[in-house]
Structure 1
Amino acid sequence: MALSPDDYRRAAGGRRSHAPRATVGPPTLAGPVLAYTGYDLSDPALLEMMRGDGGRTGVAGVAINERRALRNSTFFRAMSLQCGSMGMLPLHLRKRDGRNTEKATDHPLYNVLLRKPNDFQTASRFKSYMQLCALLDGNAYALKVRSRGAVRQLIPLPRRRVKPRLTDTYDLVFDYDRPQGGQAVLSADDVFHFGTPLTLDGINGISLLDIAADTLGLSLVAQQAAGRLLTKGSMARGALETADTLGDEAYDHLKASLRENYAGSGAEDDWMILEEGLTAKPFGSNARDAQLVEIMKREAEEVARFTGVPRPLLMFDETSWGSGIEQLSLFFITYCLMPWFVIWEEAIWTWLLTPAEQQTLYAKFNEGALLRGSMKDQAEFLKAALGPNAAYLTPNEARDFMDRNPLPDGDDLPRPGTTAATMMQEEKPDAA
């Protein structure tokens, strides 16, 4: 059954876009002011509230939700890299005409993917949000708003309120819990969705928070232990011992001497002159303190393994890579982002195009923005691409690569064995 635009907005939990304007007057209350939050029995937030913090409890006994997970600097950096990269890359709808391909700028879905997915999000914000939902929850869902048979908007559905399932006839449907209460069953024609590469049932992707709950929980406990050490632990460097009893005057004199003569960075190499038979016993770092530091480092490495982001890009590697940073970028794109490029492109082809459009149209990420090297590397690449013996780029294609305007006669491949001076000489008219 086709849904109207208002049905789409109600399903997504939104309001009608053309609501009547309120008259000017004194504010009125529609009902009593409630000092509590009400939950419907079918609301997933009710289960989280009953769990306490809500989230996944690992071996550390700490419930991990997305807010606690994102407070981990390594996890936050990994999520921001992946989601930010997916959001910044252009996503084009292209069409194939025989052996030639070009951008499908005349198709309504082209602007939805590249510029404006809906009325309240930019393209980069939409892609970043959907990518984060897929990483944290295992799946990302958006409602398709159609007009005249084409998808005009993609509205993200609230997290943890959509559950896909197969019917007895193996049709994919989605059980959707409305924010206002009640449940709706959406067909596959109404939902754009994709998930993580790993799945245990072939439909639902595996949530990163589920599989990394133990590591994130241990990291949180280690941070809490460090916080207790800094706030409640002893930070003294040593103790002064004596077999005698210090009087109040000697005690106050000793404290004043420590503050005036042996405090601050300027006294770090001084030797104290002790009185009244005092003996100094410095405190050393014990095995427990050293083990805490090692645990925090180890858990940071475990987070890096779960997310697939190279260690130096997470900003905690001590190695100086220098020119090797280009190889790190290739590693990040090939082993971390490339699977997501395929997931996005296949989902768009499957859920946003009709069977007739699937014969000629497809979506493609332009990862060239992440693969560009230094200006020297780009100059060497363009020099090889433009000839002189085996040119495979036209001058205008090379200029488009550098974001420059095309030339009037720049759509032809350079001829083998010719130079610019030779071509200019050939273009001059013969002397009379």
Structure 2
Amino acid sequence: MIWPFKRSETRSTNQAPGGDSYWQDFAALRTGNKNPEGLAAVWACVSLISETLASLPFAVYQGNDKVRSHPLHKVLNRMANDGTTAFEFRESMTAAVLLSGNAFARIERDHTGQVKALHQIRDVSVLRLPSGKLAYEYSDNGRVVRLLQGECLHLRGRLGNDGVLGMSPIQIARSTFDLALEEQQHGVSTFRNAGRLSGVLESAATLKPEQRDSLKQSWQAQYSGTGNAGRTAVLEAGLTFRPISMSLQDAEWLASRQFSVEEVARIFRCPPTLIGDLRNGTYSNSSEMFRAFVVTTLRTWMTRWEQAIEAVCLSEAARNTFYVEHSAEGLLRGDSTTRAAFYASGIQAGWLKPSEARELENLPPIDGLDDFTANDGKAPTTPTPPYPSKEAE
């Protein structure tokens, strides 16, 4: 079958530079030499959203029917390209948007113009051409490659002031991540020094520079580090040790670390219980927070993906016939009891057919299954062949 496709523009051969240029400093996502992804809460939030979204079925529809034979269906659900599965591609693209606000993929088409593969690209500069359309430039083995607007999938978060690039939550809430990173580094430094806070060695006598250096090196060698924790210090020549810092308890370091987890979860709109913070979690509120996560957080990202795919992977003519949509019912796969209740209520209410429930479970179809309501509520059964009775023997 030839799927409807029509190119709206052709590639420029002279590669003339465009007008305005938009680019993002991805190195600025780091704080000094620290990477915000090193925070457990950041990693957990990004993994929760990207992995959950990538695991959902992402089907191509014509009306109410799935069109599994459409070329785009395989790209979105099986293999994004020869070296990347659809799950890996969608997970990586979503994670990139969550951290940097933008993700880009080169669209590879076949001879009929249909999408045959999607390749994620990085370090992309976005140009606005004199025609008003966008172009995307990236480096491929030292060669600058320019893609036209219809040749690049641009997935982005909330638009910034330029109306082109999405905003990065890492950059917008930099102070929050800075504080969390500093708290983490403070804990690392403290325990690296055997949990002992800094202090001063006092002496009534005046020490020469070489004596001070020797004393410092000797003290660090004997009493610094976790391997030396609990050792008894021996002070000579009237030396005394006086701590000058607050304890971790006085500084409420642990409370600050816990609050940072809540702040990070708030930025990514993830319920704390879903990223391992169970201090206020119960069975009932955890279930409700998961439902809220699907409705308020995951639904937003599903919509971003669906509209971005339709905008560049389907032609204008195809969009009048086809559309793409996630199936959130896949989230119920891990709970057989809830899944069975969901199917039963749908079948009894009449908005779900038994054959559709079997399809959601990847089970083979049964002829006549949807007619069981007309058969006194009994599902069709396979006739049992007659067997000889014992009397006949």
Q: TM-score of the superposition, structure 2-length normalised?
A: 0.72
Q: Which runs of 5+ in 1 are unaligned?
A: 8-43, 49-53, 237-262, 264-283, 425-432
1:153 corresponds to which of 117, 136, 148: 117
Instruction: For residue 377 of structure 1, give the secondary structure of its aligned residue in structure 2.
Output: helix
Q: Distance in 2 between matches of 1:392 and 1:413?
A: 15
Give the counterpart letter for 2:32 in structure 1: A
Q: Pick the aligned partner of 1:128 from 61, 84, 91.
A: 91
**Once the two structures are superposed, what CA deviation does each residue of 1:303-338 show, in whole Å capped at 9, x if it has no partner?**
111111101112123124114332122111111111
Compared with structure 1, are the counterparts of its residues 116 and 2 closer, same or farther at alpha carbon in structure 2 (3 Å cutoff)? farther
Q: 2: distance between equivalents of 1:344 and 1:414?
A: 39
1:166 aligns with 2:133: no
Name which one, 1 or 2, has greater alpha-carbon Rg: 1
Count of aligned residue pairs for this structure pair: 318
Distance 1:381 1:156, change over 3 A: closer
Residue aligned with 2:117, SS: strand
**Matching of residue 191 in structure 1 with residue 180 in structure 2:** no
Q: In 2 relative to 1, CA 320–297 (structure 1 residues): closer, same or farther, beyond 3 Å?
A: closer
Residue 113 of structure 1 contacts residue 123 of structure 1 at CA under 8 Å; is this kept in 2?
A: yes
Q: 1:326 to 1:294 in 2, by over 3 A?
A: closer
* Contact residue 195 and residue 205 of structure 1 kept, 8 A: yes
> What does residue 29 of structure 1 align with?
none
**How far off its partner does 1:287 sit?**
7.3
Counterpart residue number, 2:253: 292
Identity over aligned pairs, percent: 26
Counterpart residue type for residue 219 of structure 1: A
Gaps of 5+ in 2: 1-8, 14-22, 198-229, 231-244, 382-393
Q: Which residue of 2 aligns with 1:223?
A: 184
1:301 paired to 2:262: yes
SS of the residue 1:414 aligns to: helix
Equivalent of residue 72 in structure 2, options 97, 105, 109: 109
Partners of 2:99 and 2:316 in 1: CA distance: 31
CA separation of 1:110/1:286 partners in 2, compared to 1, >3 Å: closer, same or farther?
Answer: closer
**C-alpha displacement of 1:398:** 2.5
User: What amino acid is the match of 2:254?
Assistant: V
The DSSP-based 3-state class of the residue aligned with 1:93 is: strand
Structure-to-structure mapping, 1:357-368, within 5 angstroms:
357-368=318-329
- Measured in 2, the distance between the counterparts of 1:208 and 1:190 equals 27
Cα distance between partner residues in 2 of 1:332 and 1:316: 15
Matched, 1:209 2:170: yes
Go from structure 1 to structure 2 and tell me whether the alpha carbon gap of 1:351 and 1:64 turns closer, same or farther (over 3 Å shift): farther
Counterpart residue number, 1:85: 52
**Structure 1 counterpart of 2:216:** none
Q: SS where residue 178 of structure 1 aligns? A: strand
2:378 partner letter: A
> Which residue of the partner structure matches residue 178 of structure 1?
139
Runs (4+) off by over 6 Å? none
Alpha-carbon distance in structure 2 between the residues aligned to 1:69 and 1:287:
23
The one-letter code sitting in structure 2 at the alignment partner of 1:137 is S
**CA 1:105–1:399: 2 relative to 1, 3 Å:** closer
User: 1:130 touches 1:140 (CA, 8 Å); kept in 2?
Assistant: yes
Question: Using a 3 Å threshold, how does the CA distance of structure 1 residues 414 and 291 change in structure 2: closer, same or farther?
Answer: same
Counterparts of 1:384 and 1:220, CA distance in 2: 48
Alignment of 1:229-248 (within 5 A): 229-232=190-193, 235=196
Hey, what's the Cα distance between the residues in 2 that align with 1:343 and 1:173?
Answer: 20
**What value does the CA root-mean-square deviation take over the aligned residues?**
3.1
Deviation track 1:201-232 (CA, whole Å, cap 9, x = no partner) reads 22110012212321121111111211222222
